Chains A and B, each alone.
Chain A
Protein backbone atom coordinates (compact mmCIF):
# COMPACT_ATOMS: atom_id res chain seq x y z
CA UNK A 1 0.00 0.00 0.00
CA UNK A 2 1.26 3.49 -0.86
CA UNK A 3 2.02 5.45 2.32
CA UNK A 4 0.22 8.76 2.78
CA UNK A 5 2.59 11.59 1.72
CA UNK A 6 4.17 13.50 4.59
CA UNK A 7 4.75 16.71 2.61
CA UNK A 8 2.97 18.88 0.02
CA UNK A 9 4.33 20.88 -2.88
CA UNK A 10 3.80 24.61 -2.60
CA UNK A 11 2.14 26.68 -5.33
CA UNK A 12 5.42 28.03 -6.71
CA UNK A 13 6.78 24.53 -7.15
CA UNK A 14 3.56 23.29 -8.73
CA UNK A 15 3.38 26.30 -11.04
CA UNK A 16 6.99 25.62 -12.10
CA UNK A 17 6.13 21.99 -12.76
CA UNK A 18 3.05 22.89 -14.84
CA UNK A 19 5.06 25.42 -16.83
CA UNK A 20 7.81 22.86 -17.41
CA UNK A 21 10.30 25.23 -15.78
CA UNK A 22 11.77 22.79 -13.22
CA UNK A 23 14.96 20.82 -13.61
CA UNK A 24 14.83 17.12 -14.36
CA UNK A 25 15.32 15.91 -10.78
CA UNK A 26 12.72 18.30 -9.35
CA UNK A 27 10.29 17.35 -12.11
CA UNK A 28 10.78 13.65 -11.40
CA UNK A 29 10.32 14.23 -7.70
CA UNK A 30 7.10 16.23 -8.13
CA UNK A 31 5.78 13.74 -10.67
CA UNK A 32 6.37 10.87 -8.30
CA UNK A 33 4.75 12.79 -5.46
CA UNK A 34 1.69 13.73 -7.54
CA UNK A 35 0.92 10.09 -8.30
CA UNK A 36 0.27 9.48 -4.61
CA UNK A 37 -0.97 12.87 -3.38
CA UNK A 38 -4.56 13.78 -4.29
CA UNK A 39 -4.26 17.07 -2.42
CA UNK A 40 -1.39 18.33 -4.59
CA UNK A 41 -3.11 17.08 -7.74
CA UNK A 42 -6.14 19.16 -6.78
CA UNK A 43 -3.96 22.18 -6.06
CA UNK A 44 -2.40 21.83 -9.49
CA UNK A 45 -5.69 21.84 -11.40
CA UNK A 46 -6.23 25.63 -11.45
CA UNK A 47 -2.62 26.14 -12.59
CA UNK A 48 -2.95 23.97 -15.67
CA UNK A 49 -3.91 25.47 -19.01
CA UNK A 50 -6.95 23.67 -20.47
CA UNK A 51 -5.53 24.13 -23.96
CA UNK A 52 -2.26 22.54 -23.01
CA UNK A 53 -4.04 19.66 -21.30
CA UNK A 54 -6.18 19.12 -24.40
CA UNK A 55 -3.07 19.15 -26.59
CA UNK A 56 -1.31 16.68 -24.30
CA UNK A 57 -4.33 14.40 -24.23
CA UNK A 58 -4.61 14.51 -28.01
CA UNK A 59 -0.91 13.66 -28.32
CA UNK A 60 -1.30 10.73 -25.92
CA UNK A 61 -4.37 9.43 -27.78
CA UNK A 62 -2.55 9.82 -31.07
CA UNK A 63 0.34 7.76 -29.74
CA UNK A 64 -1.90 5.12 -28.19
CA UNK A 65 -3.91 4.86 -31.42
CA UNK A 66 -0.77 4.62 -33.51
CA UNK A 67 -1.52 2.04 -36.11
CA UNK A 68 1.05 -0.43 -37.29
CA UNK A 69 2.60 1.40 -40.18
CA UNK A 70 3.78 -0.71 -43.06
CA UNK A 71 7.57 -0.94 -43.32
CA UNK A 72 7.40 0.01 -46.95
CA UNK A 73 5.26 3.01 -46.05
CA UNK A 74 7.86 4.16 -43.51
CA UNK A 75 10.62 3.60 -46.06
CA UNK A 76 8.76 5.66 -48.65
CA UNK A 77 8.24 8.50 -46.17
CA UNK A 78 11.92 8.40 -45.22
CA UNK A 79 12.77 8.54 -48.92
CA UNK A 80 10.85 11.80 -49.19
CA UNK A 81 7.46 10.59 -50.45
CA UNK A 82 4.71 12.69 -48.78
CA UNK A 83 2.99 10.78 -46.00
CA UNK A 84 -0.46 10.85 -47.60
CA UNK A 85 0.90 9.61 -50.93
CA UNK A 86 2.78 6.77 -49.22
CA UNK A 87 -0.44 5.88 -47.39
CA UNK A 88 -2.44 5.67 -50.60
CA UNK A 89 0.29 3.63 -52.31
CA UNK A 90 0.31 1.12 -49.49
CA UNK A 91 -3.39 1.03 -48.76
CA UNK A 92 -4.58 0.97 -52.38
CA UNK A 93 -6.03 -2.42 -53.10
CA UNK A 94 -3.86 -4.25 -55.59
CA UNK A 95 -2.44 -7.65 -56.10
CA UNK A 96 1.03 -6.21 -55.62
CA UNK A 97 2.40 -9.03 -53.42
CA UNK A 98 1.27 -11.90 -55.63
CA UNK A 99 2.25 -9.85 -58.65
CA UNK A 100 5.85 -9.33 -57.54
CA UNK A 101 6.19 -13.01 -56.58
CA UNK A 102 4.97 -13.99 -60.07
CA UNK A 103 7.43 -11.63 -61.70
CA UNK A 104 10.33 -12.88 -59.59
CA UNK A 105 9.56 -16.50 -60.40
CA UNK A 106 9.25 -15.78 -64.15
CA UNK A 107 12.52 -13.89 -64.18
CA UNK A 108 14.39 -16.47 -62.14
CA UNK A 109 13.36 -19.07 -64.69
CA UNK A 110 14.68 -16.83 -67.49
CA UNK A 111 17.97 -16.26 -65.65
CA UNK A 112 18.34 -19.97 -64.97
CA UNK A 113 17.70 -20.71 -68.66
CA UNK A 114 20.31 -18.16 -69.68
CA UNK A 115 22.86 -19.51 -67.22
CA UNK A 116 22.15 -23.01 -68.41
CA UNK A 117 22.07 -22.43 -72.16
CA UNK A 118 24.09 -19.22 -72.50
CA UNK A 119 22.72 -18.99 -76.02
CA UNK A 120 21.08 -15.56 -75.95
CA UNK A 121 17.65 -17.14 -76.44
CA UNK A 122 16.79 -16.58 -72.80
CA UNK A 123 17.81 -12.90 -73.01
CA UNK A 124 15.58 -12.42 -76.03
CA UNK A 125 12.68 -14.13 -74.29
CA UNK A 126 13.27 -11.98 -71.23
CA UNK A 127 13.40 -8.74 -73.24
CA UNK A 128 10.15 -9.62 -74.99
CA UNK A 129 8.39 -10.84 -71.84
CA UNK A 130 9.53 -8.10 -69.42
CA UNK A 131 7.43 -5.24 -70.94
CA UNK A 132 4.35 -7.46 -70.65
CA UNK A 133 4.62 -7.53 -66.87
CA UNK A 134 4.16 -3.80 -66.14
CA UNK A 135 1.66 -3.68 -69.00
CA UNK A 136 -0.41 -6.32 -67.24
CA UNK A 137 0.07 -4.27 -64.06
CA UNK A 138 -1.59 -1.29 -65.74
CA UNK A 139 -4.44 -3.54 -66.86
CA UNK A 140 -4.78 -4.89 -63.32
CA UNK A 141 -4.93 -1.36 -61.92
CA UNK A 142 -7.82 -0.70 -64.29
CA UNK A 143 -9.92 -2.95 -62.08
CA UNK A 144 -10.43 0.18 -59.99
CA UNK A 145 -13.53 0.57 -62.11
CA UNK A 146 -14.78 -2.56 -60.36
CA UNK A 147 -13.46 -1.46 -56.98
CA UNK A 148 -15.77 -2.46 -54.11
CA UNK A 149 -15.69 1.14 -52.88
CA UNK A 150 -15.99 2.69 -56.35
CA UNK A 151 -19.22 4.52 -55.60
CA UNK A 152 -17.56 6.22 -52.64
CA UNK A 153 -14.38 6.89 -54.60
CA UNK A 154 -16.45 8.38 -57.42
CA UNK A 155 -17.73 11.13 -55.12
CA UNK A 156 -14.39 12.26 -53.65
CA UNK A 157 -12.61 15.33 -55.00
CA UNK A 158 -9.44 13.42 -55.90
CA UNK A 159 -9.64 12.72 -59.61
CA UNK A 160 -10.26 9.21 -60.87
CA UNK A 161 -7.10 9.52 -62.95
CA UNK A 162 -5.01 10.16 -59.84
CA UNK A 163 -6.51 7.15 -58.09
CA UNK A 164 -5.87 4.98 -61.13
CA UNK A 165 -2.34 6.26 -61.65
CA UNK A 166 -1.47 5.70 -58.00
CA UNK A 167 -2.69 2.13 -58.20
CA UNK A 168 -0.86 1.53 -61.45
CA UNK A 169 2.37 2.89 -59.94
CA UNK A 170 1.90 0.70 -56.88
CA UNK A 171 2.10 -2.34 -59.18
CA UNK A 172 4.30 -1.12 -62.01
CA UNK A 173 7.18 0.37 -60.04
CA UNK A 174 8.03 -2.77 -58.02
CA UNK A 175 7.63 -4.81 -61.20
CA UNK A 176 10.07 -2.66 -63.12
CA UNK A 177 12.55 -2.69 -60.25
CA UNK A 178 12.43 -6.47 -59.99
CA UNK A 179 12.54 -7.04 -63.76
CA UNK A 180 15.41 -4.61 -64.22
CA UNK A 181 17.35 -6.13 -61.34
CA UNK A 182 16.85 -9.61 -62.72
CA UNK A 183 17.84 -8.56 -66.23
CA UNK A 184 21.04 -6.98 -64.94
CA UNK A 185 21.88 -10.23 -63.22
CA UNK A 186 22.10 -11.98 -66.55
CA UNK A 187 25.74 -12.93 -67.14
CA UNK A 188 27.82 -11.00 -69.70
CA UNK A 189 24.98 -8.99 -71.18
CA UNK A 190 25.63 -5.48 -69.87
CA UNK A 191 23.32 -2.73 -71.07
CA UNK A 192 21.48 -5.05 -73.45
CA UNK A 193 19.55 -6.36 -70.47
CA UNK A 194 17.82 -2.97 -70.12
CA UNK A 195 16.62 -2.78 -73.73
CA UNK A 196 13.05 -3.67 -72.71
CA UNK A 197 12.58 -0.52 -70.60
CA UNK A 198 11.69 1.95 -73.37
CA UNK A 199 9.36 -0.48 -75.17
CA UNK A 200 7.74 -1.11 -71.82
CA UNK A 201 7.17 2.62 -71.26
CA UNK A 202 5.87 2.97 -74.82
CA UNK A 203 3.41 0.09 -74.46
CA UNK A 204 2.13 1.42 -71.12
CA UNK A 205 1.74 4.98 -72.41
CA UNK A 206 -0.10 3.85 -75.56
CA UNK A 207 -2.33 1.62 -73.45
CA UNK A 208 -3.24 4.56 -71.21
CA UNK A 209 -3.79 6.88 -74.17
CA UNK A 210 -6.07 4.45 -76.02
CA UNK A 211 -7.61 3.48 -72.68
CA UNK A 212 -9.02 6.98 -72.39
CA UNK A 213 -11.41 5.96 -75.20
CA UNK A 214 -11.47 2.16 -75.02
CA UNK A 215 -11.50 -0.45 -72.25
CA UNK A 216 -7.94 -0.47 -70.86
CA UNK A 217 -7.71 -4.20 -70.32
CA UNK A 218 -8.72 -4.97 -73.90
CA UNK A 219 -6.18 -2.44 -75.18
CA UNK A 220 -3.45 -3.96 -73.01
CA UNK A 221 -4.27 -7.46 -74.21
CA UNK A 222 -4.25 -6.40 -77.86
CA UNK A 223 -0.98 -4.46 -77.62
CA UNK A 224 0.70 -7.21 -75.63
CA UNK A 225 -0.30 -9.81 -78.18
CA UNK A 226 0.87 -7.61 -81.07
CA UNK A 227 4.20 -7.04 -79.30
CA UNK A 228 4.82 -10.78 -78.88
CA UNK A 229 3.70 -11.66 -82.42
CA UNK A 230 5.97 -8.98 -83.89
CA UNK A 231 8.90 -10.31 -81.86
CA UNK A 232 8.20 -13.88 -82.95
CA UNK A 233 7.96 -12.79 -86.56
CA UNK A 234 11.25 -10.87 -86.37
CA UNK A 235 12.99 -13.82 -84.78
CA UNK A 236 12.12 -16.12 -87.64
CA UNK A 237 15.32 -17.31 -89.26
CA UNK A 238 17.63 -15.27 -87.00
CA UNK A 239 20.56 -17.00 -85.38
CA UNK A 240 20.62 -17.23 -81.59
CA UNK A 241 23.38 -14.61 -81.39
CA UNK A 242 21.40 -12.13 -83.54
CA UNK A 243 18.03 -12.64 -81.91
CA UNK A 244 18.05 -9.37 -79.95
CA UNK A 245 19.13 -7.30 -82.95
CA UNK A 246 16.52 -9.00 -85.14
CA UNK A 247 13.67 -7.16 -83.43
CA UNK A 248 13.44 -3.52 -84.52
CA UNK A 249 12.22 -2.38 -81.10
CA UNK A 250 15.58 -3.35 -79.61
CA UNK A 251 17.67 -1.52 -82.22
CA UNK A 252 18.66 2.16 -81.69
CA UNK A 253 16.01 3.51 -84.11
CA UNK A 254 13.35 1.37 -82.47
CA UNK A 255 14.36 2.58 -79.02
CA UNK A 256 14.14 6.20 -80.20
CA UNK A 257 10.71 5.50 -81.71
CA UNK A 258 9.55 4.00 -78.41
CA UNK A 259 10.74 7.10 -76.55
CA UNK A 260 8.86 9.33 -78.98
CA UNK A 261 5.71 7.20 -78.66
CA UNK A 262 5.96 7.41 -74.89
CA UNK A 263 6.10 11.21 -75.00
CA UNK A 264 3.26 11.59 -77.50
CA UNK A 265 1.01 9.08 -75.74
CA UNK A 266 1.87 10.72 -72.40
CA UNK A 267 0.69 14.06 -73.76
CA UNK A 268 -2.56 12.46 -74.97
CA UNK A 269 -3.12 10.96 -71.52
CA UNK A 270 -2.56 14.34 -69.88
CA UNK A 271 -5.16 15.94 -72.16
CA UNK A 272 -7.64 13.08 -71.75
CA UNK A 273 -7.22 12.60 -68.00
CA UNK A 274 -10.84 13.50 -67.20
CA UNK A 275 -12.03 10.43 -69.05
CA UNK A 276 -10.58 8.29 -66.26
CA UNK A 277 -13.24 9.49 -63.83
CA UNK A 278 -15.06 6.60 -62.25
CA UNK A 279 -18.46 7.94 -63.02
CA UNK A 280 -20.89 7.90 -65.85
CA UNK A 281 -20.47 11.67 -66.16
CA UNK A 282 -16.80 11.29 -66.97
CA UNK A 283 -17.46 8.84 -69.75
CA UNK A 284 -19.89 11.03 -71.55
CA UNK A 285 -18.42 14.50 -71.18
Chain B
Protein backbone atom coordinates (compact mmCIF):
# COMPACT_ATOMS: atom_id res chain seq x y z
CA UNK B 1 0.00 0.00 0.00
CA UNK B 2 1.31 3.42 -0.94
CA UNK B 3 1.50 5.85 1.97
CA UNK B 4 -0.42 9.12 1.61
CA UNK B 5 1.60 12.11 0.53
CA UNK B 6 -0.84 14.52 2.13
CA UNK B 7 -3.05 14.01 5.15
CA UNK B 8 -5.53 16.61 6.34
CA UNK B 9 -7.63 16.07 9.45
CA UNK B 10 -10.46 18.41 10.47
CA UNK B 11 -8.77 21.32 8.72
CA UNK B 12 -10.59 24.64 8.92
CA UNK B 13 -9.81 28.05 7.50
CA UNK B 14 -12.02 31.10 7.87
CA UNK B 15 -11.83 34.62 6.47
CA UNK B 16 -13.92 36.83 8.71
CA UNK B 17 -17.32 35.18 8.82
CA UNK B 18 -16.68 33.06 5.71
CA UNK B 19 -15.62 29.48 6.31
CA UNK B 20 -13.46 28.72 3.25
CA UNK B 21 -12.42 25.28 4.45
CA UNK B 22 -14.82 23.58 6.84
CA UNK B 23 -13.42 20.72 8.93
CA UNK B 24 -12.03 18.88 5.90
CA UNK B 25 -10.43 15.48 6.41
CA UNK B 26 -8.87 13.94 3.32
CA UNK B 27 -5.66 12.32 2.18
CA UNK B 28 -3.93 12.26 -1.20
CA UNK B 29 -1.42 9.84 -2.65
CA UNK B 30 0.43 9.17 -5.87
CA UNK B 31 -1.29 9.95 -9.18
CA UNK B 32 -3.45 12.85 -10.30
CA UNK B 33 -6.32 13.98 -8.10
CA UNK B 34 -8.67 16.55 -9.58
CA UNK B 35 -10.33 19.17 -7.40
CA UNK B 36 -13.58 20.38 -8.87
CA UNK B 37 -15.76 23.09 -7.46
CA UNK B 38 -17.31 26.46 -8.24
CA UNK B 39 -15.50 29.73 -7.61
CA UNK B 40 -15.24 30.38 -3.90
CA UNK B 41 -15.76 26.71 -3.04
CA UNK B 42 -12.56 26.53 -1.00
CA UNK B 43 -10.29 24.72 -3.50
CA UNK B 44 -7.66 27.43 -3.57
CA UNK B 45 -7.55 27.77 0.21
CA UNK B 46 -7.12 24.01 0.49
CA UNK B 47 -4.31 23.99 -2.07
CA UNK B 48 -2.60 27.00 -0.49
CA UNK B 49 -2.60 25.25 2.87
CA UNK B 50 -1.02 22.18 1.24
CA UNK B 51 1.49 24.38 -0.64
CA UNK B 52 2.63 25.89 2.70
CA UNK B 53 1.60 29.44 1.80
CA UNK B 54 -1.45 29.60 4.06
CA UNK B 55 -1.87 28.45 7.64
CA UNK B 56 -4.95 26.50 8.66
CA UNK B 57 -6.84 27.92 11.64
CA UNK B 58 -7.31 24.47 13.13
CA UNK B 59 -6.87 20.81 12.31
CA UNK B 60 -3.84 18.73 11.43
CA UNK B 61 -1.88 19.01 8.20
CA UNK B 62 0.87 16.62 7.13
CA UNK B 63 2.51 17.08 3.75
CA UNK B 64 5.21 14.67 2.58
CA UNK B 65 5.40 13.52 6.19
CA UNK B 66 6.12 17.03 7.48
CA UNK B 67 4.19 19.64 9.43
CA UNK B 68 3.95 22.90 7.41
CA UNK B 69 3.39 24.83 10.63
CA UNK B 70 6.93 23.99 11.67
CA UNK B 71 9.75 26.05 10.13
CA UNK B 72 11.99 23.09 9.29
CA UNK B 73 9.02 21.00 8.15
CA UNK B 74 7.91 23.80 5.86
CA UNK B 75 11.38 24.05 4.40
CA UNK B 76 11.49 20.32 3.77
CA UNK B 77 8.11 20.43 1.99
CA UNK B 78 9.12 23.37 -0.16
CA UNK B 79 12.24 21.57 -1.32
CA UNK B 80 10.03 18.81 -2.72
CA UNK B 81 7.15 20.93 -3.98
CA UNK B 82 6.16 22.39 -7.34
CA UNK B 83 3.45 25.02 -7.14
CA UNK B 84 1.32 26.73 -9.74
CA UNK B 85 -0.77 29.33 -7.87
CA UNK B 86 -4.19 30.44 -9.03
CA UNK B 87 -2.96 33.93 -9.77
CA UNK B 88 0.62 33.47 -10.83
CA UNK B 89 2.65 36.59 -11.35
CA UNK B 90 5.82 37.09 -13.31
CA UNK B 91 8.28 39.82 -14.15
CA UNK B 92 7.32 41.11 -17.58
CA UNK B 93 10.77 42.38 -18.45
CA UNK B 94 12.53 39.08 -17.87
CA UNK B 95 12.79 36.38 -20.50
CA UNK B 96 11.06 33.09 -19.81
CA UNK B 97 14.51 31.57 -19.27
CA UNK B 98 15.61 34.25 -16.81
CA UNK B 99 12.39 34.05 -14.83
CA UNK B 100 12.53 30.27 -14.47
CA UNK B 101 16.27 30.55 -13.77
CA UNK B 102 15.52 33.04 -10.97
CA UNK B 103 12.98 30.69 -9.41
CA UNK B 104 15.46 27.82 -9.81
CA UNK B 105 18.03 29.76 -7.77
CA UNK B 106 15.43 30.37 -5.07
CA UNK B 107 14.78 26.63 -5.19
CA UNK B 108 18.40 26.22 -4.12
CA UNK B 109 19.79 25.13 -7.48
CA UNK B 110 23.08 26.92 -7.21
CA UNK B 111 25.25 24.95 -9.63
CA UNK B 112 25.17 27.06 -12.78
CA UNK B 113 25.51 24.30 -15.36
CA UNK B 114 23.06 21.89 -13.72
CA UNK B 115 20.59 24.71 -13.12
CA UNK B 116 20.66 25.96 -16.68
CA UNK B 117 20.23 22.42 -17.99
CA UNK B 118 17.22 21.99 -15.71
CA UNK B 119 15.71 25.31 -16.79
CA UNK B 120 16.09 24.30 -20.43
CA UNK B 121 14.57 20.90 -19.67
CA UNK B 122 11.41 22.26 -18.07
CA UNK B 123 10.93 24.96 -20.70
CA UNK B 124 11.30 22.32 -23.41
CA UNK B 125 8.89 20.10 -21.49
CA UNK B 126 6.18 22.75 -21.79
CA UNK B 127 6.99 23.44 -25.44
CA UNK B 128 8.75 26.77 -25.02
CA UNK B 129 12.15 25.69 -26.33
CA UNK B 130 11.94 28.16 -29.22
CA UNK B 131 10.64 31.02 -27.09
CA UNK B 132 12.69 30.75 -23.92
CA UNK B 133 14.74 33.87 -24.57
CA UNK B 134 11.76 36.06 -25.42
CA UNK B 135 10.63 38.55 -22.81
CA UNK B 136 7.56 37.34 -20.96
CA UNK B 137 5.63 40.47 -21.89
CA UNK B 138 5.90 39.49 -25.57
CA UNK B 139 4.45 36.00 -24.97
CA UNK B 140 0.79 35.09 -25.35
CA UNK B 141 -1.36 34.37 -22.29
CA UNK B 142 -1.14 30.63 -22.88
CA UNK B 143 2.65 30.78 -23.19
CA UNK B 144 2.92 32.77 -19.96
CA UNK B 145 0.96 30.10 -18.16
CA UNK B 146 3.33 27.51 -19.58
CA UNK B 147 6.24 29.48 -18.12
CA UNK B 148 4.59 29.11 -14.72
CA UNK B 149 4.03 25.40 -15.30
CA UNK B 150 7.72 25.14 -16.19
CA UNK B 151 8.87 26.68 -12.90
CA UNK B 152 6.59 24.26 -11.04
CA UNK B 153 8.32 21.33 -12.73
CA UNK B 154 11.80 22.42 -11.63
CA UNK B 155 13.66 19.68 -9.81
CA UNK B 156 11.08 16.97 -10.62
CA UNK B 157 9.08 17.66 -7.42
CA UNK B 158 7.50 14.88 -5.41
CA UNK B 159 4.35 16.95 -5.01
CA UNK B 160 2.88 19.12 -7.74
CA UNK B 161 0.11 21.51 -6.69
CA UNK B 162 -1.59 23.09 -9.70
CA UNK B 163 -4.36 25.63 -9.19
CA UNK B 164 -6.22 26.09 -12.46
CA UNK B 165 -3.15 25.78 -14.65
CA UNK B 166 -4.93 24.91 -17.90
CA UNK B 167 -7.20 27.92 -18.29
CA UNK B 168 -6.09 29.92 -21.28
CA UNK B 169 -4.36 27.03 -22.98
CA UNK B 170 -5.43 26.11 -26.51
CA UNK B 171 -6.43 22.48 -27.24
CA UNK B 172 -2.95 21.50 -28.43
CA UNK B 173 -1.28 23.11 -25.43
CA UNK B 174 -3.80 21.42 -23.15
CA UNK B 175 -2.96 18.04 -24.65
CA UNK B 176 0.72 18.74 -24.09
CA UNK B 177 -0.04 19.81 -20.54
CA UNK B 178 -1.91 16.56 -19.91
CA UNK B 179 1.05 14.56 -21.18
CA UNK B 180 3.39 16.45 -18.87
CA UNK B 181 1.20 16.07 -15.80
CA UNK B 182 0.48 12.40 -16.38
CA UNK B 183 4.21 11.72 -16.78
CA UNK B 184 4.93 13.40 -13.42
CA UNK B 185 2.05 11.52 -11.78
CA UNK B 186 3.54 8.13 -12.63
CA UNK B 187 5.99 8.64 -9.79
CA UNK B 188 4.64 11.53 -7.79
CA UNK B 189 1.52 13.19 -6.40
CA UNK B 190 -0.32 15.79 -8.44
CA UNK B 191 -3.21 17.91 -7.15
CA UNK B 192 -5.04 19.66 -9.95
CA UNK B 193 -7.71 22.26 -9.31
CA UNK B 194 -9.77 23.00 -12.38
CA UNK B 195 -13.12 24.03 -13.77
CA UNK B 196 -12.55 21.79 -16.77
CA UNK B 197 -14.35 18.49 -16.26
CA UNK B 198 -12.80 17.18 -19.48
CA UNK B 199 -9.34 17.63 -17.93
CA UNK B 200 -10.49 15.64 -14.91
CA UNK B 201 -11.99 12.92 -17.09
CA UNK B 202 -8.82 12.71 -19.18
CA UNK B 203 -6.22 12.93 -16.41
CA UNK B 204 -7.44 12.09 -12.96
CA UNK B 205 -7.69 8.75 -11.24
CA UNK B 206 -9.62 10.45 -8.49
CA UNK B 207 -11.88 13.47 -8.28
CA UNK B 208 -12.78 15.47 -5.18
CA UNK B 209 -15.70 17.86 -5.51
CA UNK B 210 -15.61 20.79 -3.09
CA UNK B 211 -18.30 23.34 -2.33
CA UNK B 212 -18.79 25.72 0.59
CA UNK B 213 -15.54 24.46 2.10
CA UNK B 214 -16.73 20.87 2.32
CA UNK B 215 -16.09 17.76 0.30
CA UNK B 216 -19.21 16.67 -1.55
CA UNK B 217 -17.69 13.75 -3.44
CA UNK B 218 -14.46 11.80 -3.22
CA UNK B 219 -13.93 8.92 -5.63
CA UNK B 220 -13.14 7.99 -9.19
CA UNK B 221 -14.51 10.09 -12.03
CA UNK B 222 -16.55 7.04 -13.04
CA UNK B 223 -18.20 6.86 -9.63
CA UNK B 224 -19.12 10.54 -9.93
CA UNK B 225 -20.63 9.96 -13.36
CA UNK B 226 -22.64 7.06 -11.95
CA UNK B 227 -24.35 9.46 -9.55
CA UNK B 228 -25.94 11.14 -12.56
CA UNK B 229 -27.08 7.97 -14.26
CA UNK B 230 -30.81 8.11 -14.84
CA UNK B 231 -30.91 11.86 -14.20
CA UNK B 232 -29.79 13.33 -17.52
CA UNK B 233 -32.36 13.78 -20.28
CA UNK B 234 -32.76 15.17 -23.75
CA UNK B 235 -36.00 16.90 -24.69
CA UNK B 236 -37.32 19.18 -27.40
CA UNK B 237 -38.54 21.72 -24.88
CA UNK B 238 -37.07 23.12 -21.66
CA UNK B 239 -38.66 21.78 -18.47
CA UNK B 240 -39.03 23.85 -15.33
CA UNK B 241 -38.84 20.78 -13.10
CA UNK B 242 -35.23 20.11 -14.13
CA UNK B 243 -32.51 21.39 -11.83
CA UNK B 244 -30.45 22.62 -14.75
CA UNK B 245 -31.07 22.73 -18.46
CA UNK B 246 -29.54 24.23 -21.55
CA UNK B 247 -30.03 24.18 -25.25
CA UNK B 248 -27.43 22.05 -27.00
CA UNK B 249 -25.93 22.59 -30.44
CA UNK B 250 -28.38 20.09 -31.95
CA UNK B 251 -31.31 22.23 -30.81
CA UNK B 252 -32.42 19.80 -28.11
CA UNK B 253 -32.48 20.69 -24.43
CA UNK B 254 -30.26 18.80 -22.02
CA UNK B 255 -32.03 18.45 -18.70
CA UNK B 256 -30.46 17.42 -15.42
CA UNK B 257 -32.42 16.39 -12.39
CA UNK B 258 -35.82 14.81 -11.93
CA UNK B 259 -37.27 13.03 -14.98
CA UNK B 260 -39.38 15.44 -17.00
CA UNK B 261 -42.28 14.26 -19.16
CA UNK B 262 -41.58 13.56 -22.82
CA UNK B 263 -37.81 13.46 -22.41
CA UNK B 264 -35.40 10.72 -23.40
CA UNK B 265 -32.89 9.42 -20.92
CA UNK B 266 -29.29 9.87 -22.11
CA UNK B 267 -25.79 8.81 -21.09
CA UNK B 268 -24.45 11.14 -18.36
CA UNK B 269 -21.09 12.89 -18.65
CA UNK B 270 -18.79 13.96 -15.82
CA UNK B 271 -19.93 17.53 -16.28
CA UNK B 272 -23.58 16.50 -15.77
CA UNK B 273 -22.71 14.75 -12.54
CA UNK B 274 -20.68 17.71 -11.32
CA UNK B 275 -23.46 20.16 -12.13
CA UNK B 276 -25.98 17.90 -10.46
CA UNK B 277 -23.85 17.91 -7.33
CA UNK B 278 -23.08 21.61 -7.06
CA UNK B 279 -25.69 23.12 -9.37
CA UNK B 280 -28.73 25.08 -8.44
CA UNK B 281 -31.21 23.48 -6.14
CA UNK B 282 -34.52 21.99 -7.32
CA UNK B 283 -37.09 24.54 -8.42
CA UNK B 284 -34.56 27.20 -9.34
CA UNK B 285 -34.01 26.06 -12.88
CA UNK B 286 -32.45 28.55 -15.25
CA UNK B 287 -31.40 28.19 -18.84
CA UNK B 288 -28.70 30.74 -18.13
CA UNK B 289 -27.15 28.84 -15.27
CA UNK B 290 -24.94 26.71 -17.51
CA UNK B 291 -23.81 29.69 -19.53
CA UNK B 292 -22.89 31.50 -16.30
CA UNK B 293 -20.69 28.61 -15.31
CA UNK B 294 -18.87 28.70 -18.61
CA UNK B 295 -17.57 32.26 -18.27
Contacts and interface: CB of A to CB of B under 8 A. Distances in A.
A152 B103 contact: yes
B234 to A, nearest CB: 43
Q: Most chain-B CB neighbours within 10 Å: which of A62, A88, A153, A155?
A: A155
Contact of B78 (A147, A157, A274): A157
A88 B53 contact: no
B107 A281 contact: no
A251 interface: no
Interface in B85-129: 85-91, 94-95, 97-98, 101-103, 105-110, 112-113, 115-117, 120
Interface of A: 58, 61-62, 65, 67, 82-84, 87-88, 91-93, 147-158, 163, 274, 278-281, 284-285
Nearest to B55: A281
Contacts of A279: 52-55
B144 to A, nearest CB: 11
A274 B98 contact: no
A150 B102 CA distance: 13
Interface majority SS on A: helix, strand, loop or mixed? helix
Contacts of A163: 106
Interface stretch (B67-75, B243-251, B275-283): B67-75
A88 B54 contact: no
Contacts of B105: 84, 87-88, 158
B53 A84 contact: no
Contacts of A82: 110
A281 B69 contact: yes
B61 to A, nearest CB: 11
A281 B66 CA distance: 15
Contacts of B117: 58, 62
Given A67-B95, A154-B52, 7 more contacts: A65-B133, A148-B89, A151-B83, A151-B88, A152-B148, A280-B54, A281-B55
B124 to A, nearest CB: 10
A147 B54 CA distance: 17
A109 B154 CA distance: 49
Contacts of B95: 67
Nearest to A284: B55
Contacts of B89: 147-152
A31 to B, nearest CB: 26
B247 to A, nearest CB: 39
Contacts of B86: 151
Contact of B110 (A58, A62, A84): A84
Contacts of A148: 89-91
B214 to A, nearest CB: 22
